[in-house]
Amino acid sequence: MLMEKDEVEPDSITLATVLPPCGELSAFSVGKRIHEIIKRKNMCPNLLLENALMDMYASCGCLKDAREIFDLMSARDVISWTSIISAYGKHGHGREAVDLFEKMLGQGLEPDSIAFVAVLAACSHAGLLADGKHYFDSMTSRYHIIPKAEHYTCMVDLLGRAGCINEAYDFITTMLIEPNERVWGALLQACRIHSNMDIGLVAADNLFSLVPEQTGYYVLLSNMYARAGRWADVTSVRSVMVNKGIKKFPGTSIVELGDQVHTFHIGDRCHPQSEMIYHKLDELLGKIRGMGYNPEVEATLHDVEEEDKEDHLSVHSEKLAIAFLLLNTSPGTIIRVTMNLRTCSDCHLAAKLISIITCREIVLKDTNRIHHIVQGVCSCGDYW
């Protein structure tokens, strides 16, 4: 923007440098403006720019636009293919990601280490267990690529999500490198999902040795105990957090409206439109309750009353952000929300039902993946 003010013309390298942060921050409007500049200046075909554009659109939840860029490219390198494979994987379209990987191989391109991370992650997000195992074996035996921590993490995540907890643990014990926090974190997450307390505690012990101050893993362990109804253990974990001065990061959601970015926190009442937002949210929650929605309160703050648990869930940041955008955008506008944490199952369910009653597409981008919801159906296939 300062360059525009000073009437300095950006070149392709400048624009390709600015596009990735637009994707990371979900600054969709800025990314679109850059694309308009590129089109106006006839800067394509340009492999560097096209790859950056594709990645920006995918990171902002615009898979269709990313695919359009990819399809219009006159030349594609391994980076191009990896970007589109990763895009489909993050959106939960694992089968399409695998098909694209096979097409890349059919073009005679040799996948590199990063391309294998993309296809393994896509398999993990979609539960394609056999495909993931095949590609990991192929990477090492056919392409002689030495697995890195990222590849091992994908495999542990793949096995764990599929419920193969013991196999995931055995896989970790045979790793050629020392497992890092992401590997153990993937195992702990899987143990939480599938309520495997024994291996979950092993994963937690390793995590607390590696990263003793990392908030997220204490919260994961606490949630695992809560799901099992072991409230004394939940209290114990939270006491450890208090004694160590470890605080849970508050859930934060950001949205774009025009050229402004709006930030919401759980229970936030600081926004100028706060009263209208809460009124809109009450209206939405009332309507989806009529569709059978019941707040998922099992693992929420065991030491408060049931009614308070529901109130706590109802003011999660992503719900407030969705209500705000519904108030301030015209019918048919896609709702885009970016979060600093993994979205909870209750907000995911609420967003699906809200998409039905409002006839809006809702894109929730959390730290793990992108949920593209259309008429009550999420691209993740509820496998997350």
pLDDT tens readout for residues 121-139: 999 999 999 999 999 999 9
**Dihedral Cα 95, 101, 103, 105, nearest 10 deg:** -150
Segment 229-242 shows an average pLDDT of 90
Same domain for 218 and 307, yes or no, is no
Within-domain flag for 267: yes
pLDDT tens per residue, range 168-203: 999 999 999 999 999 999 999 999 999 999 999 999
Tokens of 166: 């013991």
Does 272 lie in the same domain as 220?
Answer: no
Residue 370 lies in a domain: yes
193 and 309, same domain (yes or no): no
Give the residue from 248, 279, 310 where a domain finishes.
248
* Per-residue pLDDT, 246: 85
On whether both 365 and 308 belong to a single domain, the answer is yes
- pLDDT of 173: 97
Q: What is the pTM of this model?
A: 0.90
Q: Is the pLDDT of residue 353 over 80?
A: yes
For residue 252, pLDDT over 90 is answered with yes
What is residue 223's predicted lDDT score, i.e. its pLDDT?
A: 85
pLDDT in tens, 70-81: 999 999 999 999
What the block records as the tokens of 294 is 């019941």
- Rounded to whole angstroms, the Cα distance separating 21 from 203 reads 33
The closest alpha carbon to 371, from 359, 209, 350, belongs to 350
**Rounded to an integer, what distance in angstroms lies between the CA atom of residue 34 and that of residue 28?**
10
The domain boundary, picked from 248, 263, 289, lies at: 248
Specify whether 160 is located in the same domain as 257: no
Q: Are residues 225 and 285 in the same domain?
A: no
244 or 355: which carries more pLDDT confidence? 355
Looking at the fold, whether 235 and 169 belong to one and the same domain comes out as yes
Average pLDDT, the chain: 91
On whether residue 226 sits in a domain, the answer given is yes
Q: What is the pLDDT of residues 281-331, one digit of tens each?
A: 999 999 999 999 988 655 454 443 333 344 456 789 999 999 999 999 999
Please say if the pLDDT value at position 2 is more than 90.
no
Q: Which residue, among 204, 186, 265, 192, has the nearest Cα to 240 in the 3D structure? A: 204
Residues 326 and 224 placed together within one structural domain of the fold: no
Q: Which of 248, 270, 298 is the last residue of a domain?
A: 248
Instruction: Please report whether residue 1 resides in a domain.
Output: no
> For residue 4, what pLDDT band results from cuts at 50, 70 and 90?
low
Least confident of 223-237, 267-281, 321-335, 340-354: 223-237
pLDDT for the residue 229: 84
Secondary structure (H, E, C), the chain: CHHHHCCCCCCHHHHHHHHHHHHHCCCHHHHHHHHHHHHHCCCCCCHHHHHHHHHHHHHCCCHHHHHHHHHHCCCCCHHHHHHHHHHHHHCCCHHHHHHHHHHHHHCCCCCCHHHHHHHHHHHHHHCCHHHHHHHHHHHHHCCCCCCCHHHHHHHHHHHHHCCCHHHHHHHHHCCCCCCCHHHHHHHHHHHHHHCCHHHHHHHHHHHHHHCCCCHHHHHHHHHHHHHCCCHHHHHHHHHHHHHCCCCCCCCEEEEEECCEEEEEECCCCCCCCHHHHHHHHHHHHHHHHCCCCCCCCCCCCCCCCHHHHHHHHHCCHHHHHHHHHHHHCCCCCCEEEEECCCCCHHHHHHHHHHHHHHCCCEEEECCCCEEEEECCEECCCCCC
Residue 264 has pLDDT above 50, yes or no: yes
For residue 68, being part of any structural domain is answered with no
Please write the tens of the pLDDT for every residue from 203-234: 999 999 999 988 889 988 988 888 888 889 98
- CA 272 from chain centre, in angstroms, equals 29
Q: What is the pLDDT of residue 91?
A: 95
Same-domain check for residues 190 and 264: no
HSE on the CB side for 366, CA within 13 Å?
A: 17
Mean pLDDT score, 109-120: 98
- Of 35-44, 80-89, 261-270, 297-306, the least confident: 297-306
Using CA atoms, how far residue 198 sits from 63, 194, 210, 284, in Å, is 39, 11, 19, 41
pLDDT at 126: 95
Residue 101 has pLDDT above 80, yes or no: yes
* Residue 99 domain-assigned (yes or no): no
Residue 241 belongs to domain spanning: 147-248
CATH of the domain at 160: 1.25.40.10
Q: Confirm whether 114 is domain-assigned.
A: no
With pLDDT > 70 as the criterion, what percentage of the chain qualifies?
Answer: 93
Residue 305 pLDDT: 39
d(CA 360, CA 220): 32
Query: How many independent structural domains does the chain possess?
Result: 2
Average pLDDT over residues 56-71: 96
In this prediction, residues 13-37 reach a mean pLDDT of 92
- 8 A C-beta contact, residue 23 and residue 58: yes
Which pLDDT does position 304 carry in this prediction?
39
Same domain for 212 and 224: yes
Average pLDDT over residues 103-122: 98
Q: What pLDDT was estimated at residue 299?
A: 45
pLDDT for the residue 383: 86
Asked whether residue 239 falls in the same domain as residue 262, the answer is: no
Angle at 336 between CA 330 and CA 339, to 5 degrees: 145
Residue 288 lies in a domain: yes
- 187 and 217 assigned to the same domain: yes
318 close to 251: Cβ distance less than 8 angstroms? yes
